[in-house]
Structure 1
Amino acid sequence: MKVALFDFDRTIYRHETYTLLMRFLQNHSVYKKRYKKFMRRLMPVYLMYKLGMTPEKKMRKKAMEIYLRTFENSTEEELRQYFREMGEQMKDDFNEEVLRRLHWHHEQGHRVLVISGAFDVMLQEVLKDLPVDALLGTKVPLQSGRLQKVVELTHVHERQKIIQIEQDLKEYDVSWEESYAYGDSIYDLDVLNLVGHPVAVQPDGDLKAYAKKEGWEILE
C-alpha cells in the first residue's frame, strides 16, 4: 500500500494556524472577553522564548495548552462549533495545488493522512469535507461530551509525528519508497525522509536548502 502524508500549516493551509488562532479568539463574538486572560497567561512564556530562555517548540506547546484552557467547562459541541466557524475563514486560504494532489492520492487508492501539531478537533471540523483517511493532530481531552481540565498536551511535533504515523499504519504493509509526503518546515524532515517522494511546500529557508541539495520537488 502507498500512503500520502500531509502537514497542515503552510501546506494544506497557506499560513500559520497559530496566528489565526490568536486573531480569531480576539475577535470572536462569544469568546473575545476571554482573550485578555489568555494573553496574561501567555506573555511570561512568550517573553521567555523571545529572550532565548525557552525553545520555540516548548513555547508553542505551552501556548496551545494555555489556548485550550480558555475553553475549559465548554461542551464538545461548543468547541466544535468554534472551530467550524474558524474553518469558514480558512478555506479561502487553502493551497489549491496541494488539495488537487490530495484528491489525486485518494483517487489512486493511497491512504491519505494529515499529520499536524494542530488540535485534532480543529482538523476534524476544518477538513471534514476532504477525502482524508486519518487526521492525526494534538489530542484535545474530551470526555462525556465536555472539555476536560487541560494539564499537559502531547504536542504532535517532530518525532511525535512519526509515532502517530506508525500507530496508524501498524496493520498495513506500506511501500515507503512509492509513498509521498508534503511539508513546509525543517521540523518536518523526519516525516519527509520516510518516503520516496518528499515534496517541500512553501518551505522555510532550511528545508528549501535541504530539498534543493537532495533534489526534492519544491512547491512555492
Structure 2
Amino acid sequence: MSIRWTANKVTFLRVVVGFLAVCLFGRGAWANLTAVGLTVAAIALDALDGHLARKKQMATPVGAQLDILGDRMIENVYFTYFAVVGMVSLWLPVLFFARGAATDFLRGLAMKAGHSGWGAPAMLETWWGQALVASRWSRGLYAAMKCLCFCYLGLELALTRGSVALVGQLAADVHDMIRVGAYVLTWMTAAFCLLRGLPVLVEGWKYIAGNAGPVGGAKSVAQEALRKEISEKGGGVAAFFDLDGTLVARPSLEKRFFRMLRNRRAIPARNYLLWLREAMRLMPRGIGAILEANKVYLRGVEILGEHGEGDTDGQPAEGQPRAAWRRNPRQPVPTFLALAIEKVAWHANQGHQIVLVSGTLLPLARRAASAMEAELAARGITATIGVLATRLEELDGRWTGRILGPAMFGEAKARAARRRAEEMRLDLGRCYAYGDSLNDRWLLAAVGRPTAVNPSKGLGQMAKKRGWPTIEWKDLTPGHSKFREKNRQIGVNVKNK
C-alpha cells in the first residue's frame, strides 16, 4: 500500500527521527555515529516538509503550527540530553524552553487579536523584525547552526568520550580545544535563537497590553483601542490586483496556457482561421480588443476542471470552503513575484478584501487565486481571494469561444471594481489598486490609493503626471526555475509553510 506523503506527515517523521537519534546517543561509539546521521536526516526533513508544502500547495495554518511544534520538540530534546550528560550548561535548554514559550504565547495573542502569528508581514511590522524572523536566510542559517551544533556534540560524544570512544584518549590540550569549540558553537546558536525571538518579544508587547484588564472581566482602554484599531484597519477597504505582469511574472497565464494547448495539438486547426476572422471584426476597437476579447481559438476545447462550484467572481459556494489548490497538468503554474506575495499578505493582515481583476480566463484566474491563498497559508494567514475575470460560454463540457459578459480589460476592470464596491459596501476612496499596463489606468483611477507596478512606458508617464506611486516587483518566487538559475550563478541558496 503506497503512502501519500504530505508536509505534515514529513514533520511527524522528522520528530520521530530526532527522538530516535537522541535515544541512540550514549549507547556506544557506532550508535553515536548513527545518531549523528539521523540528526542530519531530521534537519533535512525540516527543509523537505516546507518544500513539499509549497510545491504541492498543501500549506495550511495548522501545518505551520505543527512545523513550529516540531522545531520546539527537536531542539529541546537535543539540548536537554546534552545538558543531562554534562556536555552543555543546564541553562542552555532552560533558555530555549523560555524563549519558545514566550514567543509562542505572544503569537497566540496575535492570532486571537486577528493577526497572523506566523509568517512574514503579520504581527511583525518592522523590516528588521521580518528580516530576523521570517526571511529565508534567517531560517536557513538558524537550521544550519542547530544542525552543526547537534552534529558537533554527537561527534564529540562518539569520538572522544567514554571507554568505547573511537579516537581514544586525547591530549589534554586537544580535548580542551574540542570543548571550547562546543561551548562557542552552542552559545552562538543560543544567541542567534534569542536574536530571532527579540522582534516577537518587542512587537508582541502590545498584545499583552491589549489583553490586560481589571479583575472581573472589565475591558481595559488599551484593549478597546486595540480592537478598534483592528476593526478600522480593514473595514470597507479592498485591494484590487491585476494579475499578469503585476502579481505573476510574464508571459501571461493565458499565453502559457495557449502554448500548452498548441504543443498538445488540442486546438483545432480551423480555430486559427476563426481567430483571424474575429480579429478583423474587432480591429476598429483597437489592439486591446483583439488580444483580450478574442477567445475564438478555444472553440471546442475541453474546459478546465474546476475545484468546486463557486459563484462567478470566484467565491466559494455559500457555506463551503474553497477546495485546496492542486496542480493541473493542463494549466500553467502561477509564478508569483516575491514582493507581490508580501504585499498581498500585508493587505490580508490589515483585514482588507483581496480581489484579482484580470483579463485572463476565469478558471486560470481562480487557480491563481487558490495558489495565492496557499502562499498566504504558508505564512499562517487565512484569506479568501475574490476573482473578476473573463468568462467563456460552455457547452457539453467544452468552450464555445464566446465571452459571457464583458471581456475583463480596460474600462471593464474599473466597472467591475465599482460593482464589487457597491455589493460589498466598500469605500473606493480608501481602496487600493495595482496594475502594470496602460490598460489598467481606469482601474487605478477608480480608487483612492493606486500604485503602478512594473509600469509600462505609457503607464509610467501617466503615473508621474497624476502623482501615482510606482514600484518594481522583479524578483521571482524561490520555486521558479529562473529564480533558481539566477541565484545559482551568484551562489545564493534561498521554507514557509
TM-score, normalised via structure 1 length: 0.79
Q: How many angstroms apart in 2 are the aligned matches of 1:166 and 1:123?
A: 19
Counterpart pick for 1:149 among 378, 400, 407: 400
Paired position in structure 2 for 1:94: 336
Counterpart pick for 1:8 among 243, 247, 250: 243
Distance 1:173 1:68, change over 3 A: same
Does the CA-based 8 Å contact 2:304-2:330 persist in structure 1?
A: no
1:69 aligns with 2:69: no
Does the CA-based 8 Å contact 1:84-1:125 persist in structure 2?
A: no
Kindly provide the CA deviation profile for residues 166-219 of structure 1, in whole angstroms up to 9, marking residues without a partner as x.
Answer: 332323332333221100111111110122221111111110011122332212
Displacement of 1:142: 3.9
Q: Secondary structure at the match of 1:8?
A: coil
Displacement of 1:56: 0.8
1:20 aligns with 2:253: no
Counterpart pick for 1:116 among 347, 350, 358: 358
Unpaired runs of 5+ in structure 2? 1-235, 309-326, 374-382, 473-497
Unpaired runs of 5+ in structure 1? none
1:167 aligns with 2:419: yes
Does the CA-based 8 Å contact 1:69-1:149 persist in structure 2?
A: yes
Displacement of 1:62: 4.7
Residue type of the partner of 2:442?
D
Q: How many angstroms apart in 2 are the aligned matches of 1:173 and 1:22?
A: 37
* Pairs aligned (count): 208
Residue type of the partner of 2:441?
L
Q: Secondary structure at the match of 1:170?
A: helix
Residue type of the partner of 1:120?
L
User: More helix per residue: 1 or 2?
Assistant: 2
Write the mapping of 1:206-217 to structure 2, written as runs, cut at 5 A: 206-217=458-469
| Aligned sequence identity (%) | 22
Does the CA-based 8 Å contact 2:392-2:400 persist in structure 1?
A: no
Distance 1:105 1:194, change over 3 A: same
Q: How many angstroms apart in 2 are the aligned matches of 1:133 and 1:186?
A: 24
Displacement of 1:79: 11
Q: How large is the RMSD of aligned CA atoms in angstroms?
A: 3.0
Paired position in structure 1 for 2:171: none
Paired position in structure 2 for 1:179: 431
Q: How many angstroms apart in 2 are the aligned matches of 1:53 and 1:169?
A: 31
Distance 1:55 1:97, change over 3 A: same
Residue type of the partner of 2:269?
K
Paired position in structure 2 for 1:194: 446
Kindly provide the CA deviation profile for residues 135-158 of structure 1, in whole angstroms up to 9, marking residues without a partner as x.
Answer: 010112247x73463444431112
Does the CA-based 8 Å contact 2:293-2:407 persist in structure 1?
A: no
Residue type of the partner of 2:242?
D
Q: How many angstroms apart in 2 are the aligned matches of 1:177 and 1:206?
A: 24
Residue type of the partner of 2:245?
R
Counterpart pick for 2:369 among 98, 109, 127: 127
